[in-house]
A and B are shown apart, each in its own frame.
Chain A
């Protein structure tokens, strides 16, 4: 079995390694390259799904090829943790590549679709390398390749407004993150005396605690940037919507998870969480990200920006889970730690699936209406029945509705947070309970965000002509989304099996298996026996049967009734799309409640007529101030520019001046070190 898996893994790497460059070379024959590229990624991701499942069940796997370098042996290897994330990558990638066959056609003749296809394959390859690198340097190279290729994909539609500046912001932030991460990883490698992750895992005993904390903070900054952790999230809502939608699905669904992967690996495997404040810091940042992410997602009118902010929210939720696991681990409560980590990983899987689905849905909608502004959509449910139904399923999972996957993972996360009563320190116990409240309000706001997104996009009547003319996307796009929607349901209904599967991963990280504790018979339960339990499949059955009963009842009761069609009472003015609830209007109550966070600046202008009682037109404009941009990034950028202006004096533009710098330096050094 293992040797077969090795061959599959090798062929996957070879396929991707050859496929990417070849499709870039052959990009002139755009459409055919795009289709074959999609087929190639589909095949590789299916291979990846098989390989990672084998690894999770049976244990680690080596690629079997090595390169000796100055920085130790470079090879690829999958442990259960890496394999789990490979599984996430490959599931999303398989569906995205099916979706791309239809989606990519939109760009035909406008942009170079051969390049898009080739870069997507390279992106896939770099993701695979990130989760399977065994060497620090190889990992950093893969990480940077992933960032650079995704940057190129973000700026793919470079003739559109704001795309290039979004890409530039992304590039700056990702380099900031990589810089912090490089320092941290090299420090660890220095103390361990080896560049291999495996040797680093046990070799950090000689590291002073202060250095370890510094490494932790640097890693948190570096990985938090990629994860979209507040306040390092600014690039995410700009870059994810700017990319083509199939790439947004990959970035939001998969790439941000790479940060989670590396956090689990470095915080649990390499550093070992010994300090309580490490976990608490992660929980705190997670809470802020979750709350602000969902609040900001409610103010956006751009459908993809809404989803991008929701990614910030969900990464925040995962950080809460990860931090909780770290807090438990620091008290030696390894079973609870495993429980929290399992919930986090499960949520990562669910988020990858529903977020990719939602971005693909948004892509279909944007493709049909040629806009991303929800205010100019509406009424798409009738025009795009499949897309709207599938998006609806994704939104249900995102809003944590039973029996979808998102519900089960958030339930597990709640249970593990409630278990923080077992922590011996009272102040920490109290702090942790605050995070439960934050998670609860986040969940409630996520529901309203889902309602807002669906109602203003798909329901009521179309608000513009473009929305009226919209029609269903090609079959391949629907098919790609349908796979993911099925998985949204499957991971909820069959979550007992999924939990046991993921238990293999957490037990490989923490050494404690809890699968048999929390999944028993048909019910999932908290590790603390008799505390809480839930049966997702029974809930599903209950929901389906009650829906069937309700429908039958309604059908039988109304059978004899006569149908009468007439207009709604409209006070004498004809009702049109302009009377519909807008996306801005739906969010208005929340904006008012959270006034301090949003700091909205609204303006109401009227166009007067002869009579003071009749206004011809009303203009309402509302602007939101991003507090991080205003109070954190602007001042930093301003001070940098000020320093640069001061320093630009030495850039005189005269050769003699530059030469005299060298000359003075040379003489000074000679005199100093004679």
Chain B
């Protein structure tokens, strides 16, 4: 295969990651929210696999497999089951309306490109476009955390941020050392489990997952 196909494939998968992030912002139902996240993680895994093939770096394969297994399968399943168990309302209640959110996301994608421009201008890595995307994804993840009320959406938002960072690490440095990656995976898994339990507890205590109710904890 020629390198152009690689560049296309890599850019295409990068675009999928960005688009799924924007989808997350736009989605109004909890289940589709989790599924979109699974798709994003799958795209990310494939992205890692292609980079691994292109670079001939074996350890990135392991990372790719782990990404798909963990973020595309295990975590979404766990979260879906948690959602079912605590009978959370299916609707996501955004603080900022969807059209406005989409506009802001467009702006954030722009910020990502604008900020990363001086960094990627000099480099000749085939993944350089993806760095801008990764920044945009991190920012969109942060925005998701701010603009959505439910604890469950915040958990996914933090995973989106993690995905963005992962994308950035692979696109700039072709991944971190394997041991670090594996460490991060376990961290993410542990974090999700703990946050799931907390969501459960918050629901028990406040009978809602709406974090704006936690305002009462003030003073």
Contacts and interface: CB of A to CB of B under 8 A. Distances in A.
A652 interface: yes
Nearest to B95: A656
Contacts of B216: 653
B146 A656 contact: yes
Contacts of A660: 146
Contact of B214 (A651, A654, A666, A674): A654
A596 B18 CA distance: 76
Contact of A667 (B117, B139, B214, B215): B139
Contacts of A670: 111, 115, 135
A210 interface: no
B215 A652 contact: yes
A656 B211 contact: yes
B115 A653 contact: no
* Interface of B, helix, strand, loop or mixed by DSSP: helix
A662 interface: yes
A565 interface: no
B107 to A, nearest CB: 9
Contacts of B145: 656, 659, 663
A604 interface: no
B142 interface: yes
Nearest to A666: B142
B174 interface: no
B147 A656 contact: yes
B117 A653 contact: no
B215 A659 contact: no
B118 A674 contact: yes
Given A656-B147, A674-B114, A663 B211 contact: no
Interface residues of A, number: 15
A648 to B, nearest CB: 9
A651 B146 contact: no
Contact of A671 (B114, B149, B212): B114
Interface string A61-102: 000000000000000000000000000000000000000000
A655 interface: yes
Nearest to A669: B115
Interface centre among B146, B149, B215, B218 (most CB of A within 10 A): B146
A651 B218 contact: yes
Interface centre among A659, A660, A666 (most CB of B within 10 A): A659
Interface in B118-152: 118, 135, 139, 142-143, 145-147, 149
A666 B139 CA distance: 9
B103 interface: no
Contact of B212 (A651, A654, A663, A667): A654
B55 interface: no
B180 interface: no
A667 B135 CA distance: 11
Contact of A653 (B118, B143, B218): B218
Q: Contact size class for B?
A: 20 to 34
B5 interface: no
Contacts of B114: 671, 674
Nearest to A660: B146
Given A656-B149, A674-B118, A667 B211 contact: no
Nearest to B107: A667
A663 B214 contact: no
B111 A653 contact: no
Interface string B86-127: 000000000100000000000010010011011000000000
Contacts of A653: 214-219
Nearest to B214: A655
Interface string B180-212: 000000000000000000000000000000011
A656 B212 contact: yes
Contact of B142 (A651, A652, A655, A662): A662
A654 B95 CA distance: 12
A656 B142 CA distance: 10
Nearest to A657: B146
Given A663-B142, A667-B139, A655 B211 contact: yes
B174 to A, nearest CB: 23
B121 to A, nearest CB: 11
Contacts of A651: 218
A670 B113 CA distance: 11
B215 A663 contact: no
Interface string A327-370: 00000000000000000000000000000000000000000000
Contacts of A667: 108, 111, 139
B95 A671 contact: no
A666 B117 CA distance: 17
Contacts of B118: 674
B173 to A, nearest CB: 19
A655 B135 CA distance: 23
A172 to B, nearest CB: 22
Nearest to A661: B146
A419 to B, nearest CB: 62
A674 B117 contact: yes
A659 B118 CA distance: 28
Interface of B: 95, 108, 111, 114-115, 117-118, 135, 139, 142-143, 145-147, 149, 154, 211-212, 214-219
Interface of A: 651-656, 659-660, 662-663, 666-667, 670-671, 674
Given A655-B211, A659-B142, 7 more contacts: A656-B211, A656-B212, A659-B145, A663-B139, A663-B142, A674-B114, A674-B115
Instruction: Sort A-B residue pairs by CB-CB distance and give the 7 closest, nearest first.
Output: A653-B218, A653-B215, A674-B115, A660-B146, A659-B146, A670-B115, A663-B142
18 contacts: A653-B215, A653-B217, A654-B212, A655-B154, A655-B211, A656-B147, A659-B142, A659-B145, A659-B146, A663-B139, A663-B146, A667-B108, A667-B139, A670-B115, A670-B135, A671-B114, A671-B115, A674-B114
